[in-house]
Each structure stands twice: as C-alpha cells, then as structure tokens.
Amino acid sequence: MTNDDVLFAYRLRVLASARELGSVAAACRMHGVHRSTFYRWKAMAERFGSEILRPRERRRPQMPNAIPVLIEQRIIAFALGHPGYGPARISSELRRSKWGGFRISPNGVWRVLRRHGIHTRALRLGLLAGYAAPPAPPREPEPERHIAVDHPGELLQMDSFCIGRLAGTKGVVWQYTAIDAASSFCWAELHVTPRNPDVRFTSALARRVARELRDAGWQLKRISTDNGSEFRNHVFDAELARLGAVHTLISPGRPQSNGFVERVQRTILEECWKPSFARYLVPKYMGLRRELERYLALYNYDRTHNGRHTKGRVPAEVLGAAKLVSRDVVYEEL
C-alpha cells in the first residue's frame, strides 16, 4: 500500500464517519480535519465519484537552472561522509579535482541538504547513528470554545460596518449592528456620517434594543463591543449605565471575541448587500434602508438558525419564549 492509498482511505473514512455519527463537526474533530476541507471533499465526491479523492500522481518539475541530479547526489554523499562539514566547506571541497571539480555555491549546497532534511550537523549525525525520534504521544482534541450564555439579554454584541459612499449622500453610509448571543435576534440600522461612525447612533441602537428586549420579557445585562471610537466613548458608557447594562471591550486584535456580530455582518453582506448592489444600477440610501428592513424581517422571523442555542428555530421564537416562562426577575425602568 502506497502513501496515496493511505491518504485515499483516510479521506473516505472521514466521509463515512460523518454519515455514521450524523455530525460533521464531530467527525472533523475526531479525525483532525477542518470543516471547510470536509465539505470540499464531500462536494468533489458527490460530483465526480469517490475516486476523485485519490491523490493524483505528480512529479517535481525539472527547472532549467536546477542542480543536476549527479551533482546533487555527490553533495549528499559527501555531506554524509563528512557530517561535520558545513555548506561552505562542502562547496570548497567539491571544487577540488579529487572530488570532481563541481562548482556550486555554499547557498546551493545548503538548499540541497535542506531538501533532503540533513541541513544541520545534528540531523546528519543523527541519520548516521540511526537515531529515530519516538512517536509523539496521542493528544486529546482541544475542546471547542464557545461564548456561554443562558438566556436572551445576557449578552449583546455590537459593531459597525462600512457600506461606503453612495450617490446622493453627503458622507459615508455605516451599518450599525447588534445581535443577541442567545437568540441570534439581530438589529441593524443605516446612517450617514461625515467620515467615522457616530456615538449618537450606537447609543440610540442600544436604547432600542434594551426597550425591545424589555417588551419581550428580558433585561439587557451586558454589551460587548470592539475598541472603536463610537463605543469607547463616555456618552455611550453613560447611556449603558442608565440602561443598567455592563460594557465589555474585547481585546485588540481578537475580533473572534465578538464573533456573533462579526458573523451576522458577513451574513448580511452575502445575503443582502451583494444581491442588492447587483440588482441596482445606482444604489440609493433609502433603497438600501428598505432592503435592510426586508432582510431583517426575513432573518429574524422567517429564517431558521442552526446554532448551539437556536437549534433550528427562528430567532423570534427564542426571543419570545419569555412570554411562556415565568422568571423571577425584577426589571428596572429604562
């Protein structure tokens, strides 16, 4: 059995495990494969058959300026015969007539040695000694990290997304987005500012979200944002203090900590904005606002979500579940 046969059987085993377990995520964790790789293999197998997963035979192309095979073999043999020599010494020795008179630079010698995995003295000496490293101990797969939330209103994530400059608007159109982590219910608004996002619109969106959560029977407890100027502002902090919510800033360079809102902004981009810009010859500000309102009605009230908390339900169903459950919570007047 060749290495290609082993790899082909491994790919088939990954697809079979997903069918047996009924979960792509579990199969990928068990075999150490990313889900995007799994879906690429699955699409290829469904379209062309399972044989498409067998690795194709390839040979390394011979470049015109490549070192000839004879000289490469001579370098390997000389390096193993003199494992204490470095690339510069090997290059100098090979230029002598007693070793063939081959003219090759020290850098070329090092590249040949690196291709064969013997570019250090320790590697050459270890190969001569027959040393083989012990196999690495098996490691348990790392547990998946998730943001832990119990009920709607416990965590709200907010962010701003730049739409750009549109014809007929004096400034930049920004999308202000908020999403409840437990129910995946999303709020989004479009506003025009001279350049950067404005704290007035983020504060107004926070007030709207808190009011609608209260009407649904939940209390806004915490808001997570990035370090943008529209959030890292005393006006925004004062508004959250009045609403009784805690403001959490994510660490710089860690957008995955705000993953709910980052993902929903990508979803709105792919399912709302790209089709809208493709349909309209000249997109207008009011037209895009209507498109966003229609899409949010679909997203929140008529689109199933397969997240850890929604589990195939519509976000409005999760958010409205408070009307059926009595909760001993005293809500402060907003």
Domain 156-324 annotated CATH 3.40.50.2000: no
**In this predicted structure, what is the pLDDT of residue 321?**
42
**In this predicted structure, what is the pLDDT of residue 131?**
57
Q: What are phi and psi of 72, to 5 degrees?
A: -65, -40
User: CA nearest 202: which of 167, 164, 170, 245?
Assistant: 245
Q: Please indicate whether residue 213 or residue 311 has the higher confidence score (pLDDT).
A: 213
Q: pLDDT per residue over 82-136, tens digit each?
A: 888 999 999 999 998 888 888 999 999 999 999 999 999 988 888 887 755 566 7
User: CA nearest 179: which of 145, 154, 204, 146?
Assistant: 154
Torsion of CA 190, 191, 193, 198, to 10 degrees: -90
CA 32 remoteness from chain centre: 16
**pLDDT above 50: residue 330:** no
**In this predicted structure, what is the pLDDT of residue 312?**
84
Q: How far apart are CA 113 and CA 21, in angstroms?
A: 45
Q: pLDDT per residue over 145-177, tens digit each?
A: 788 888 888 999 999 999 998 888 889 999 999
Residue 172 near residue 164, CB atoms below 8 Å: yes
**pLDDT above 50: residue 331:** no
Where exactly are the structural domains of the chain?
Answer: 3-53, 69-128, 156-324
Q: pLDDT per residue over 233-255, tens digit each?
A: 899 999 999 999 999 998 888 88
> How much is the mean pLDDT over the chain?
86
Q: pLDDT per residue over 33-76, tens digit each?
A: 999 999 999 999 999 998 888 888 777 777 888 888 889 999 99
- Which sign does the torsion angle of CA 250, 255, 257, 260 carry? positive
Q: pLDDT per residue over 288-303, tens digit each?
A: 999 999 999 999 998 8
**In this predicted structure, what is the pLDDT of residue 324?**
30
Q: Which of 200-214, 284-298, 311-325 has the lowest mean pLDDT?
A: 311-325
Residue 4 — pLDDT band, cuts 50, 70, 90?
confident
**In this predicted structure, what is the pLDDT of residue 308?**
80
pTM: 0.55
Residue 173 near residue 186, CB atoms below 8 Å: no
